[in-house]
Amino acid sequence: MKRVLLISANMMKKPYAVYPLGLDYVVGVLKSRYETKILDMNEFSSLEKLGQQVLSYAPDYIGLSIRNVDNTDTINSKGFLSDYQHLVEVIRRNSQAPIILGGSGYTVFPLEFIRALDADYGIAGEGERFPVLLAALEDKIDVSAIPGIVTKQSTSVDYKAWNGGMRRTFDPDSAHTKYYLSYGGMLNLQTKRGCPFKCSYCTYPHIEGGRLRFFEPQEVARQACELQNAGAKYIFITDSAFNASYDHSLQVAEAFVNAGVSIPWGGFFAPTVPPDDYYQKLSGAGLTHVEFGTESMCDKMLHSLQKPFVTSDVFRAHHKALEAGLFIAHYFMLGGPGENEETLQETLNSVDQLAKAVFFFFCGIRVYPHTALYDTAVGEGQIGASQNLIEPVFYRSRFISDVDIIKKVEAHADGRLNWLIGAGESKATRILPRLYERGHTGPLWEHLI
């Protein structure tokens, strides 16, 4: 059997290290025809150690998973391209196997990455297409006609969401699983793919497609049990918005109960008005943490960002989640098109009325291709139509500067520990690694409430 080495390039450990879930799906689709091995850069203290592993495994193909492009932080922005370039240099020194790029970050910038890393191929979108590429390479067929496949010669990338089978293969005994179990104990799980909403700044519908594709609730619950039996202390559900389908999310919760999932879990939710008892039912199935993608508490801004809810919905969703005894976090994206002193003040005043929660404020919105915000930024001359956005660019409102936004939020927060400004560099989130080292589990932001 030919060997495929899959490397997770992500080395970011804030707010915590994230299990490379995408590679489990890639292994799932490759394993009947190839021998596979996952190496996770979070486990390696040096690139040299990775080099030794690459050399000794002697792979026929190398898949490199690129999740993060940058830390998406206006205050302390850091791009990861140069780290990935060093990684590829080390791989090339130790192997002549073709390098194939993939992952969510890669999918946003497929042409930019293949050029900057001088990789051999890329797969934009879902990695389930990996065997199709390998079969074509082995049969010496032109791969450029396969949807989503990127070559050094590609000038555009066209792909559709994957229609075939998707099956995760989880290895409880692998070195990287042990790493996450010993550091925070959080593993992750997907219950569906896609997002039907069209928020103006968001890449998720581009990465996962705009149509919801559901996994069988019983299969999701089986995977949750697998993670639990391996020793996971908490499960993060990585869906774009877990409640994008109330029916399916309730079926998953019911399947968790029937399968005996007993560890806590959480995920992203849209603050839309839920059916009666929705959060109670999820809480009964183990949900403990709700992360609302709220973004603003001013209807004018919610409309500008094309969010599928209004401020009154946020209050109702918050209230329902609180009633069910859940820990709640709201994420805000300030500084979008039309943001000004008044819209900001309206948001801050309303946030004051959300009891018992943690608030994460991002000031300045990262501009990504294939989004409505990108078109606005080009239209306003903030970016050029051919500008390479792999180095982070943030949309700036014409009516208020990001510096003034930050000052205003900081002044309003007035030292409250549950008001976090920026993407994880604040004092409060620097405490998290120490808590993990002492054996605490889960996202831990509940300690700031």
User: What does the binding site for ligand SF4 look like in residue numbers (CB under 6 A)?
Assistant: 195, 197-199, 202, 204-205, 240-241, 270, 293
With CB under 5 to 8 Å by kind, the binding choice for 18 among ligand SF4, ligand B12, none is ligand B12
To the nearest whole angstrom, how small is the minimum distance from the Cβ of residue 373 to ligand SF4?
11
Please identify, using beta-carbon distances, which residue of 41 and 423 lies nearer to ligand SF4.
423
To the nearest whole angstrom, how small is the minimum distance from the Cβ of residue 316 to ligand SF4?
17
377 three-class SS: helix
With CB under 5 to 8 Å by kind, the binding choice for 104 among ligand B12, ligand SF4, none is ligand B12
Rounded Cα distance between 192 and 210, Å, is 12
To the nearest whole angstrom, how small is the minimum distance from the Cβ of residue 198 to ligand SF4?
6
Contact set for ligand B12, span 161-220 (CB under 6 A): 186, 188, 190, 203-204, 207-208
To the nearest whole angstrom, how small is the minimum distance from the Cβ of residue 226 to ligand B12?
15
- Residue 354 makes CB contacts below 8 A (sequence gap 6+) with 314, 315, 318, 328, 330
Residue 234 burial (CB count, 10 A): 21
With CB under 5 to 8 Å by kind, the binding choice for 51 among ligand B12, ligand SF4, none is none
With CB under 5 to 8 Å by kind, the binding choice for 241 among ligand B12, ligand SF4, none is ligand SF4
Rounded Cα distance between 191 and 101, Å, is 24
Let me know the angle formed at the C-alpha of 297 by 293 and 301, rounded to the nearest 5 degrees: 90
Please identify, using beta-carbon distances, which residue of 64 and 321 lies nearer to ligand SF4.
321
Please identify, using beta-carbon distances, which residue of 265 and 309 lies nearer to ligand B12.
265
Rounded Cα distance between 166 and 26, Å, is 9
With CB under 5 to 8 Å by kind, the binding choice for 103 among ligand SF4, ligand B12, none is ligand B12
Rounded Cα distance between 283 and 46, Å, is 42
User: Is residue 297 at the binding interface for ligand B12, with CB under 6 A as the rule?
Assistant: no
User: Residue from 5, 9, 22, 406 that binds ligand B12 (CB under 6 A)?
Assistant: 22
User: Residue from 40, 41, 68, 209 that binds ligand B12 (CB under 6 A)?
Assistant: 68
Please identify, using beta-carbon distances, which residue of 295 and 311 lies nearer to ligand B12.
295
Rounded Cα distance between 397 and 411, Å, is 20
User: Is residue 446 at the binding interface for ligand B12, with CB under 6 A as the rule?
Assistant: no
To the nearest whole angstrom, how small is the minimum distance from the Cβ of residue 321 to ligand B12?
17
As a dihedral over the C-alpha atoms of residue 10, residue 14, residue 17, residue 18, rounded to 10 degrees, the angle is: -70
User: Is residue 238 at the binding interface for ligand B12, with CB under 6 A as the rule?
Assistant: yes
Gyration radius of the chain over CA positions: 22
336, 363 Cβ separation under 8 angstroms:
no
Tracing tokens 């005894």 back to the chain, one arrives at 325
Q: What is the DSSP string of 382-416?
A: SS-TT---SS--EE--SSS-HHHHHHHHHHHHTT-
Residue 10 burial (CB count, 10 A): 22
With CB under 5 to 8 Å by kind, the binding choice for 293 among ligand SF4, ligand B12, none is ligand SF4
The answer to whether the peptide bond before residue 15 is cis (omega within 30 degrees of 0) is yes
Rounded Cα distance between 224 and 217, Å, is 10
With CB under 5 to 8 Å by kind, the binding choice for 199 among ligand B12, ligand SF4, none is ligand SF4
To the nearest whole angstrom, how small is the minimum distance from the Cβ of residue 445 to ligand SF4?
19
Please identify, using beta-carbon distances, which residue of 191 and 272 lies nearer to ligand B12.
191
Please identify, using beta-carbon distances, which residue of 122 and 267 lies nearer to ligand SF4.
267
Contact set for ligand B12, span 87-106 (CB under 6 A): 100, 102-105
To the nearest whole angstrom, how small is the minimum distance from the Cβ of residue 271 to ligand SF4?
10
To the nearest whole angstrom, how small is the minimum distance from the Cβ of residue 67 to ligand SF4?
16
CA neighbours within 13 Å on the CB side: how many for 174? 18
Please identify, using beta-carbon distances, which residue of 74 and 238 lies nearer to ligand SF4.
238
Tokens for 128? 């389930």
To the nearest whole angstrom, how small is the minimum distance from the Cβ of residue 336 to ligand SF4?
12
Residue 206 burial (CB count, 10 A): 18
For the chain, give percent helix, strand, coil, nearest 5: 40, 15, 45
Contact set for ligand B12, span 397-426 (CB under 6 A): 423-424
Cα 82 vs. chain centroid, distance in angstroms?
Answer: 21
Contact set for ligand B12, span 350-379 (CB under 6 A): none
Let me know the angle formed at the C-alpha of 294 by 343 and 187, rounded to the nearest 5 degrees: 150
Footprint on this chain of ligand B12 (rule: CB under 6 A): 10, 12-15, 17-18, 21-23, 25-26, 63-65, 67-73, 100, 102-105, 107-108, 123, 126-128, 130, 186, 188, 190, 203-204, 207-208, 236, 238, 240, 423-424
